Amino acid sequence: MPTPRVLVVDDEHLIRWSLEQHLEKNGYEVITTSNGREAVQIVQDVLPEAVLLDIQMPGMDGIEVLRAIREIDPDVPVVMITAHGGVGSAVAAMKLGAYDYVEKPFDIQRITVLLANALERRTLKGEVTRFRSEQGRRYGLDRMVGESPSIRTVKETIEKIARSDAATVLLQGESGTGKDLAAKIVHYQSARGEFPFVEINCSALPETLVESELFGHERGAYTDAKTMRRGLFELADGGTVFLDEIGDMPLGLQPKLLKAIEEKTFRRIGSARDIRVDVRVIAATNKNLPELARARAFREDLFYRLNVIPLRLPPLRERREDVPLLVRHFVDAFSRECRKPVRGIDPSAERLLAAYDWPGNVRELRNIIERAIILENAQFILPAHLPPEIASPGPPAPEARGTIVVTENGVSLEEVEKELIGQALKLAAGNQVKAARLLHLTRDVLRYRMKKYGYL
C-alpha cells in the first residue's frame, strides 16, 4: 500500500517541523511549505492525500488556499489550523468543504486521529464511487438482450424514464421477465445512480416487519427493538427504493406508503418526528393491480399514484425472435464463468428452445443454459442436454370443450369468465383457494368475481 502524502502549510517553522517529525514517525510522507501560493502549486503537481492548512498566513491566507485546492481536487480532506479565538474563520472554512479544524496550541495526537479518519473516509468514498461506476457499466441498456420490436420499445421507455425525474414507476409483467433488471437500469442510468439503490420483496417478509424495513424504528419501539434502525426510505435518500411484488404489500401499510410517496416524509416506528427524503419509487408486480383494487385487496389511490409511468415487460413467448440472442448471451456468459469449452448450441436444440412456450420466461431460459453448461462437457449444447419438457415435448393439449363458442353473432367475455369460474369451482369441489390457483388469481379477486356473477 503506498505511503499517504500529507501537505503541511503553516508560516511558523516550529509547527511545520514538529508536525513533519511526528507524522513521518506515524508512516506518512510529509511535504511542508510556509507559502499559500506554493501550497496551491504543490497540490496541483503532487495531489497529496490530505492537507493540514493554517488559516492565518501572510499573503494568500488559508481560506483563499482552501478555495483554490477545492477547484483542483474537491475530494482531498483539508484540516484547518486556527489560532485561539479564530473559530469563526474555521467554521467558514468548514462551509467551504474543510474536513475539520484544530485550535492552537493543538494536541498533536488529535491531528493524527483526524488525519487517519479523513484518509479512511476518502478511501471509502473512492471505493463507493468505483462500485457505483461499475454498477453503471454493469446495468447499461445492453444488459437487456433482444432486438424484437417489443423489447426495443421497452429499452426506449427505460431510457426516457432514466432521463426524467419521475417520482414513481410501475413495472408489470410475468415472473422472470426482467423487472428487477429494468429497475436497476433505470436507477444506474439516471442522475440518481450515484446514490443508493435499495430493494425489498414485499412478499418475503412477515407483515409485522415490512413497516420497520421500509421506515425504520426507534429504540424501544417494540420488544425486539434494542437499537434505533434506519429504514430503506431513509437509507435510499437521493436514490431509488425498489418495491418488488408490490401486489403483496399488506393493506394496512399501504396508506403510509402512499403518504411517503406523495409528501416525501415518513416517521420511524415509535417516533413523532417526520423525516424528509428525496427518493424515486419503482414498484414491480406480476399481478393485475386494477383487479386487486376492484376486489379491495389493493388500495385504488396507491395504484393510481404508482401508475404514473407504467411499463410492461413482455413475456418471452411474445418475443420468440429474441430467444437465439438470449441463448448466445447466456452460453458466452456461463462458459466463461464456469470455464467450460462450450462454443454454442446445436441447431436442433436451438429449434426446440425457440418452439417452447417459456412459462418461466427469461429466468427459466437462463437457468436451463446454466445447468447444461455446468453438467455437460460437450462443445455444443445438444437436445439431450435440455430438460425433458423441452427435449421431448408431449402432444399438444386437447382443445378446451366449453359450452361457449364464438359465433357470427359474437360472444360476451363476461359469460366466458363466468363459465370458467364455474368450471374451476367444480373442478376444485368448491375449494376457493384451489379454484383461485387454477385460474391464476388471488382468493380475494376470485371472491370478487364470484359475487359479481352470483356464485356467492
Q: Is 396 within a domain?
A: no
**301/154 same-domain check:** yes
**52/120 same-domain check:** yes
Q: Checking DSSP bridges between strand 275-276 and strand 265-266, what pairing results, if any?
A: antiparallel
Q: Is 208 within a domain?
A: yes
**351/428 same-domain check:** no
**Residues 6+ positions from 340 with CB-CB distance below 8 Å:** 334, 373, 374, 377
**159/250 same-domain check:** yes
Q: Is 398 within a domain?
A: no
**What is the domain-level CATH number for residue 353?**
1.10.8.60
**270/218 same-domain check:** yes
Q: State the Cα–Cα distance between residues 402 and 419, nearest whole angstrom.
A: 8
**323/288 same-domain check:** no
**Final residue of a structural domain among 282, 312, 342:** 312
**192/227 same-domain check:** yes
C-alpha cell at 428: 376444485
Q: State the Cα–Cα distance between residues 386 and 392, nearest whole angstrom.
A: 9
What is the extent of the structural domain holding 441? 413-452
**109/65 same-domain check:** yes
- With a threshold of 0.75, does the pTM exceed it? no
Q: Is 401 within a domain?
A: no
Predicted local confidence at residue 133, as pLDDT: 63
**What is the domain-level CATH number for residue 305?**
3.40.50.300
**264/296 same-domain check:** yes
Q: Is 92 within a domain?
A: yes
What is the DSSP code (8-state) at residue 356? S
Q: Is 225 within a domain?
A: yes
What is the DSSP code (8-state) at residue 227? S
Strands (E), 235-295: 240-244, 265-266, 275-276, 280-285
Q: What angle do CA 150, 154, 159 make, to 5 degrees?
A: 150
**163/126 same-domain check:** no
**What is the domain-level CATH number for residue 41?**
3.40.50.2300
Predicted local confidence at residue 236, as pLDDT: 94
Predicted local confidence at residue 397, as pLDDT: 45
Q: Is 138 within a domain?
A: no
Q: Checking DSSP bridges between strand 310-312 and strand 197-201, what pairing results, if any?
A: unpaired
- DSSP structure string for 52-82: EEES--SSS-HHHHHHHHHHH-TTS-EEEEE
**159/297 same-domain check:** yes
Predicted local confidence at residue 1, as pLDDT: 56
Alpha-helical (H) ranges within 139-249 are 149-163, 179-188, 207-215, 232-235
Residue 389: burial class (beta carbons within 10 Å; 0-12, 13-18, 19+):
exposed
Predicted local confidence at residue 393, as pLDDT: 66
Q: Is 108 within a domain?
A: yes
**What is the domain-level CATH number for residue 425?**
1.10.10
**Final residue of a structural domain among 95, 130, 165:** 130
Burial 191-203, CB ≥16 within 10 A → b, else e = ebbebbbbbbbbe
Q: Report the C-alpha dihedral over residues 441, 447, 450, 452, rounded to 10 degrees.
A: -100
How many domains, in total, are found in the chain?
Answer: 4
DSSP 3-state assignment of 6? strand
**Final residue of a structural domain among 130, 162, 184:** 130
Amino acid at 59: G
Predicted local confidence at residue 391, as pLDDT: 84
Q: What are the pLDDT tens digits along the chain (456 aa)?
A: 578 999 999 999 999 999 999 999 999 999 999 999 999 999 999 899 999 999 989 889 999 999 999 999 988 999 999 886 667 888 888 888 899 988 888 888 888 899 999 888 888 777 766 766 676 667 889 999 999 999 999 999 999 999 998 999 999 999 999 999 999 999 999 999 989 999 999 988 887 788 899 999 998 888 778 888 899 999 999 999 999 999 999 998 999 999 999 999 999 999 989 999 999 999 999 999 999 999 999 999 999 999 999 999 999 999 999 999 999 999 999 999 998 888 899 999 999 999 999 999 999 999 999 999 999 888 999 999 999 989 876 554 444 445 556 656 666 777 788 888 888 888 887 888 888 888 888 887 888 888 888 787
**64/169 same-domain check:** no
